Amino acid sequence: MSTSATREGTRGALIDCNEVGEWAAAADVIVVGCGIAGVCAAIEAREGGAGAVLVLERASGCSNSTTQSGGHFYLGGGTAVQRACGFHDDAQALAHYLTAVTQRPDPAKIAAFAEGSAAHFDWLEAHGIPFDRSYFPTKAVMQEGRDCLIWTGNERVWPFCEQAHAAPRGHKVAFVGQEGGGNLAQEQLVKHAQRIGVEMQFDTRVDAVVVEGGRVIGVRARRFGRERHLRAGGGVVLATGGFGQNAAMLREYVPLARHLSVVGGPYDDGSGIRLGMAAGGAVEHMNGFLLTSPIYPPEQLVKGILVNRAGQRFVAEDSYHTRTSIRIAEQADGIAYLIVDADIFAYPAWHEHGNQRLVDGFETIAAMEASLEMPVGSLQRTMAEYSRHAAEGDDPELHKQPEWLKPLTTGPWAAFDFSYGRAKFYGFTLGGLRISAAAEVLDERGDPVAGLYAAGACASMLAHDSLNYASGISLSAGSFFGRRAGRHASGRG
């Protein structure tokens, strides 16, 4: 193959169609990646009338971030579960919240998701994913049982509670246990895709896109050492995952992730992002990532306070765990301690695998302050001020909600080390290819790259960082924009 017509490098490979000697096969839509975004794209394309839909997956099966997730979908606008559990929600409230919590919101994507969210829940359920009509009221990262509806964002946290109507929007797949719900959802969708005639090829790595006159018309794939060119009549959908397994990309884009234990699929190496860039696609929010080391459950620990090395609070402790975690990482040297009194003492549920070390118990706040090497009087002043206001049901500094306020006046007191770099923090990347509300890959000018679509973790969707993340938004946005990608790639846009 002529090197003059093929551009190889860190951005992936781009091949001119004139250099393709033979097309090994053709499909109306080719989907690269078999996570939830990819399989939803394939189903939508096939059910929309595409004659042939081909999914190419690098792994030997569907082993990806979806299958490793607990199975939360962040959905609202008045889903069947929300209504059954007595919670009012509508598209406007959902859009207002997503806009308020996002630093650089994309109005078109937010509007599309908010308006289609309730119907998307119906679609997921109709395609085999089970959800119970039940509500889980406890503040937790994930339900142990099958209960469905849970608060998984910052809807009740100031100032967002004043900017948008609050409603619980986390929908857990009906599955007992904290792990396995995502795998169940994926299995059901894959079974449905195969029933309706979607072809899936595993152990297949896509390492180049083929273009004709600026339009993406196919891909180059390698399987067991054999190279093939596959033509896409309607379009190519990239759904290959994030870049958490690519050390070079992490160093370049997310230097703060140096202490992060990355979760996700084994092939989350940014390959789809690089393919999209080779075709002319732009990227955005590449420095965004999810970070978490939860202080709860048990939820009583939310009544404690988090302080930095200066003995000062820096985040409302009732914030969702990802918002709290990124605020910890932003402190000087990442130093943060959770302070509790004898009334609410408990070990964080994640302490055994999160290394959230109990520093010690202390008979006085002054002794704790000295042991933690804080400025003299700093922690004593913080604790006294906090407890005085908490006794009045108020938190004028950070506006923690009254249900989580308690004077921390019952000794002895204890400190847990939640410092970034000492406690264990988990997460994954959130940046990726810039896409439109129709899941078209966009170039630097904001124009679509013809024939190319993206969804899932290789695309920048709704959540850009830990501050605006809500558990389940990756599965919900990935499946939602995956469907949009499949619909438009099949010519139904």
Tens digit of pLDDT for each residue in 136-178? 999 999 899 999 999 999 999 999 999 999 999 999 999 988 7
CA 247 to chain centre: 19
Closest of 166, 129, 131 to residue 151, by C-alpha:
166
Q: Which token pair is 247?
A: 């050390």
pTM confidence score: 0.93
Whether omega before 297 lies within 30 degrees of 0, making that bond cis, reads yes
Name every residue whose Cβ is closer than 8 Å to that of residue 356 and which is 6 or more positions away in sequence: 293, 295, 338, 348, 350, 416, 417, 418, 423, 424
DSSP for residue 334: G
pLDDT band at 12 (very low <50, low <70, confident <90, very high): low
DSSP for residue 19: G
**For residues 15 and 211, is the Cβ–Cβ distance under 8 A?**
yes
pLDDT reported for residue 411: 96
Closest of 213, 219, 214 to residue 236, by C-alpha:
219
pLDDT tens, position by position, 82-100: 999 999 999 999 999 999 9
Buried/exposed code over 368-404 (b: 16+ C-beta within 10 A; e: otherwise) = bbeebebeeebbbebbeebbebbeeeebeebebbeeb
Q: What are phi and psi of 115, to 5 degrees?
A: -70, -30
**For residues 264 and 245, is the Cβ–Cβ distance under 8 A?**
yes
pLDDT tens, position by position, 299-309: 999 999 999 99
pLDDT reported for residue 292: 93
Query: Would you tell me the crossing angle of helices 36-47 and 473-489 to the nearest 10 degrees?
Result: 30
Greatest Cα-to-Cα distance within the chain, rounded to the nearest angstrom = 79
pLDDT reported for residue 288: 93
Percentage of residues in the chain with pLDDT exceeding 90?
Answer: 87
pLDDT band at 68 (very low <50, low <70, confident <90, very high): confident
pLDDT tens, position by position, 203-222: 999 999 999 999 999 999 99
Closest of 185, 156, 197, 154 to residue 72, by C-alpha:
185
**For residues 165 and 153, is the Cβ–Cβ distance under 8 A?**
no
DSSP for residue 403: G
Place of tokens 């959800």: 131
Closest of 298, 262, 355 to residue 144, by C-alpha:
298
d(CA 246, CA 288): 15
pLDDT band at 259 (very low <50, low <70, confident <90, very high): confident
Domains of the chain: 6-67+182-290+426-489 (3.50.50.60), 72-179 (no CATH), 294-423 (3.90.700.10)
d(CA 325, CA 443): 33
pLDDT reported for residue 493: 60
pLDDT band at 2 (very low <50, low <70, confident <90, very high): very low
**For residues 15 and 21, is the Cβ–Cβ distance under 8 A?**
no
- Other CB atoms within a 10 A radius of the CB of residue 247 amount to 11
Between the alpha carbon of residue 347 and those of residues 203, 299, 351, 354, 405, the distances in Å are 44, 11, 7, 11, 19
